[in-house]
Structure 1
């Protein structure tokens, strides 16, 4: 066991019983003389053990040298977390960490019954854990008295500011006693955090957790290049290929979470969702399903999954590309925790690979580009898992041997093995067929321009017409993705695009044209009021540029009207009328 220094004996015993053999760098930093009874500004990445770290840090301040707490009265410590899930998780950690001290811990989080929280606070609590808005409500209503606080901890302080809790935090900190310890834990220390620390902390001791530069070393990063229409199919195949005990899939929006959860559930996956539209009870049940094995996949938004810690979470999938490096790191930090290896996969549509590379570079991470698992890859892995199943190496016991022999005599070993194989394969969802192997696409993109073979696939290209043109503000930048999605093709299969006034024509490579047309006839374009038709032969030459002498309707020469002024600025004057003198 690591030298625990000044750690409270009750906490040391709790860590030993929990199987801790060594403390993480941020936990060790809490035991240094400089950190003792000081305000702390701590930078620590997700998964570094910071919940236990600030539990260790505030214990001497709360216990005052005693081994156990006196009967509970007004709170001595307040822990503020950005989300309900993180607050509940902190409470769960503190319950085992402080069990030997006799601490009473209460929680105040949005979405829970406020009356029950008031009763718990009235009964007395040594430590209160909560979210900013709910804590402020209790303080304002008088149900939470923080006049006896000895320590306040802001967990994930940068996230709370990003979520707009600055006013609530300043209210809570201003209402707390001046003589207290204030501990700020944050993944990063932007200017807002620095200002908050300067205003509400006194000579804060700065701690940067060791190893921060080598963050996420236990995570293997991969990016899978896919056709835009194949994104969900690639997610399904990735889940099947890794077959992790627990996986989490991140989406940007609530609607995306709802859609993908339904798709996975329909395919036979044991899946739950986490998003802001769920009640606290629903979110708690979802997490509990992941912990007890009833569900193996969680589809979540960034905010809903902030700070959650799921056991045996070996796979993180970014269904939607992270918009910035901090989001990438926070998402990915759900796996690769406490020395456990993890895999983080980014599902990247072909046209967004540049954005993916930029986010990875800003996060100082490197990812291997790999193809999406194919049906044959998944089948091969499934068969290997069946062969390696530990249950097959266990000999039958006395109660089973009789019926085993009866089965063998009735059906034979080969027939029984075939039935077992079919049952195992039927228990897993079927993989998806992907349009094109991304590895081939990536290889083509990596070739120098001079080495690329000349393209001959448009020598026999087929032309199609789409029912939008200049008048509908058609542009190649949105026509091309729509064409690719409608026909299940990549942009390399699309040749020339000619935009006319009321429609547009585009060319599809000859070897892709029939499959493209079949997909369009079956699925449509996906855009309301927009249709695609196949053309017979090549379209006419592009329309000529029009001059004031040319009719836009017919393209033919139009003679000048009488009285034409001769100006070519686009504004023609009406023919002049001859003045007739009035006769007297």
Structure 2
């Protein structure tokens, strides 16, 4: 028996739940060498680590008994970063210790604290909670820590990232020094190493995922789109993959609210998760996802921490994560417990270098692909429809209606009506900006009206950076607050790109470029007094007339340094 070393009641609970064999992290934790030792564990998200630490502390909680007596004081304490994760841990440990008579109480922010106090007074063998609420109960005297035998810090790196260091240290300081400390952390930055050194004794290091193999069950893809087409790209990604469950990440609460409302308006069953929601609203949203009433969750990073949703097959980064660790935590919502998942990063064209840097830092290899087009989505819809509609057992009354329909209409007409009814339930795909032909009104002689007198500008990207007119044009329009019909010729070189702006609006364009410049932009735009070199065959020569005055040139932008203050400038908007 794979779980034969465990107490009988724990083994029976695992068998009832269908656990035939332990996962890698569970097998490592119940090995003989871990008995009685402090543990420092790194394991892939969704690898069964909650059950793993439930098994690890069984010997401390049961102490050789098959059933637990009434709990005068808690024997085990689990600290988790978020309410959702704490409630999830409580559910897992409740069934794991049910046959042993174990009682598991939760103490999390946003819930009724008096009900929690009554649950603690009624006797709880195991207490699960968030750092702030646990410290609150300790200070009120409702949570006794004198009998604690084992403390588990779940997702310790996230708790430190969220600023809970002080609360964690206070909790550990009031527990018995001879307790076991099990520290679970996906990564081991310096603060985690310091915490382990301070509060653990000769901890055994367990790492069940080799470096560079984290999230091996996730298919990473990145798509580059014009900044103005990000929302439409998210729509097409959701429609193309049609996952049973999808999570879309945004950087701010406002963007979560806006995108969730936009998706709902388009016909998606979507819910929003952000820090401004009450606990009841969060519970309602999560329950809608679990019972399939909603299939898309739009969330901020903080709101999504610790959430484990079944059948979550797709993660979409609608806005870039702030760092590699956030990228890993976001992506880890899918591809859990051996299931396959897909992760899509939607990248504004001018932030492609930033995205590539994040992927390198996270040791993730992503395939750069085109955003799904409306034609791609309709083709995929057809494939799914042909796979879905399969004749099976049919009720007599349905057969009777079918015969009546055949008497009135041809088989082709009935089948077409079925397809139409199926498509009517699907949100319409979007046409993405920059994917269509250039319709900027070129004259038959190859010249364009209004571009007889122009000013040349330079961009710090070229063919070596995969520059392409399809996305350079929308970028110029966004940065300069102009339309595509106000951009003249575009000349893409190896290391830079030149483009024309009518002289009459060059000053206004340069001012807009200065205002929209941010430190995060990988592309800088500045005036070019020289213009591009002549093209072969005489094309692309600089227009007649003296070079434009220097007043059109924005101040130099040096990569990695903040530009000096500029008159009329304002904060840039993140792409």
For normalisation by structure 2, the TM-score amounts to: 0.79
Which residue is 2:396 aligned to?
A: 398
CA distance in 2, matches of 1:269, 1:126: 43
Summarize the Cα distance change of 1:36–1:498 in structure 2 as closer, same or farther, 3 Å threshold: farther
CA distance in 1, matches of 2:411, 2:160: 64
Tell me, what secondary structure is at the counterpart of 2:334? Answer: coil
Tell me, what secondary structure is at the counterpart of 1:82? Answer: coil
Measured after TM superposition, the shift of residue 386 of structure 1 is 1.4
Tell me, what secondary structure is at the counterpart of 1:170? Answer: helix
Tell me, what secondary structure is at the counterpart of 2:99? Answer: helix
Which residue is 2:425 aligned to?
A: 427
Does residue 364 of structure 1 match 2:360? Answer: no
Pick one of 497, 500, 505 that aligns with 1:496. 500
CA distance in 1, matches of 2:187, 2:270: 32
Tell me, what secondary structure is at the counterpart of 2:246? Answer: strand
Tell me, what secondary structure is at the counterpart of 2:9? Answer: helix
Which residue is 2:204 aligned to?
A: 205
Contact 1:484/1:491, CA 8 A, preserved across alignment: no
Which residue is 1:235 aligned to?
A: 234
Tell me, what secondary structure is at the counterpart of 2:344? Answer: strand
Task: Tell me the alpha carbon deviations over residues 329-372 of structure 1, each in whole angstroms, 9 at most, x when there is no partner.
Answer: 11111111111111100001111111111111111111111111
Contact 2:61/2:76, CA 8 A, preserved across alignment: yes
Measured after TM superposition, the shift of residue 103 of structure 1 is 1.1
CA distance in 1, matches of 2:550, 2:248: 52
CA distance in 2, matches of 1:479, 1:291: 40
Task: Tell me the alpha carbon deviations over residues 398-425 of structure 1, each in whole angstroms, 9 at most, x when there is no partner.
Answer: 3432232222223342232222111100
Task: Tell me the alpha carbon deviations over residues 114-159 of structure 1, each in whole angstroms, 9 at most, x when there is no partner.
Answer: 1111111111111111000000001101111111111110001111
Matches within 5 A, 1:323-402: 323-390=322-389, 392-402=390-400
Does residue 482 of structure 1 match 2:478? Answer: yes
Task: Tell me the alpha carbon deviations over residues 35-57 of structure 1, each in whole angstroms, 9 at most, x when there is no partner.
Answer: 11111111223222211111110
CA distance in 2, matches of 1:54, 1:383: 46
CA distance in 2, matches of 1:327, 1:464: 50
Contact 2:477/2:483, CA 8 A, preserved across alignment: no
Summarize the Cα distance change of 1:322–1:37 in structure 2 as closer, same or farther, 3 Å threshold: same
CA distance in 2, matches of 1:428, 1:60: 53
CA distance in 2, matches of 1:214, 1:483: 39
Which residue is 1:24 aligned to?
A: 23
CA distance in 1, matches of 2:284, 2:345: 27
CA distance in 2, matches of 1:256, 1:376: 28
| Equivalenced residues, count | 489
For normalisation by structure 1, the TM-score amounts to: 0.78
Tell me, what secondary structure is at the counterpart of 2:304? Answer: coil
Tell me, what secondary structure is at the counterpart of 1:393? Answer: coil
Contact 2:44/2:209, CA 8 A, preserved across alignment: no
Matches within 5 A, 1:150-549: 150-390=149-389, 392-437=390-435, 460=448, 462-463=450-451, 480=476, 482-483=478-479, 487=483, 495-496=499-500, 503-504=507-508, 541-542=546-547, 544=549
Tell me, what secondary structure is at the counterpart of 1:354? Answer: helix
Task: Tell me the alpha carbon deviations over residues 225-257 of structure 1, each in whole angstroms, 9 at most, x when there is no partner.
Answer: 111111110100010011110000011111111
CA distance in 1, matches of 2:351, 2:82: 31
Which residue is 2:60 aligned to?
A: 61
Does residue 115 of structure 1 match 2:114? Answer: yes
Summarize the Cα distance change of 1:104–1:404 in structure 2 as closer, same or farther, 3 Å threshold: same
Unaligned segments of structure 2, at least 5 residues: 438-444, 455-471, 491-497, 511-542, 552-575
Measured after TM superposition, the shift of residue 541 of structure 1 is 4.6
Greater Cα shift, 422-431 or 380-389: 380-389
CA distance in 2, matches of 1:19, 1:491: 66
Contact 1:480/1:491, CA 8 A, preserved across alignment: no
CA distance in 2, matches of 1:378, 1:336: 23
Measured after TM superposition, the shift of residue 436 of structure 1 is 2.5
Contact 1:270/1:294, CA 8 A, preserved across alignment: yes
Summarize the Cα distance change of 1:479–1:43 in structure 2 as closer, same or farther, 3 Å threshold: closer
Summarize the Cα distance change of 1:385–1:148 in structure 2 as closer, same or farther, 3 Å threshold: same
Summarize the Cα distance change of 1:68–1:432 in structure 2 as closer, same or farther, 3 Å threshold: same
Summarize the Cα distance change of 1:123–1:499 in structure 2 as closer, same or farther, 3 Å threshold: farther
CA distance in 1, matches of 2:478, 2:352: 18
Which residue is 2:136 aligned to?
A: 137
Measured after TM superposition, the shift of residue 113 of structure 1 is 0.9
Summarize the Cα distance change of 1:505–1:143 in structure 2 as closer, same or farther, 3 Å threshold: closer
Unaligned segments of structure 1, at least 5 residues: 441-456, 467-475, 507-537, 547-584
Which residue is 1:103 aligned to?
A: 102
Task: Tell me the alpha carbon deviations over residues 251-270 of structure 1, each in whole angstroms, 9 at most, x when there is no partner.
Answer: 11111111110110110100
Contact 1:257/1:299, CA 8 A, preserved across alignment: yes
CA distance in 2, matches of 1:270, 1:412: 35
Measured after TM superposition, the shift of residue 498 of structure 1 is 8.4
The root-mean-square deviation of aligned C-alpha atoms, in Å, is 3.1
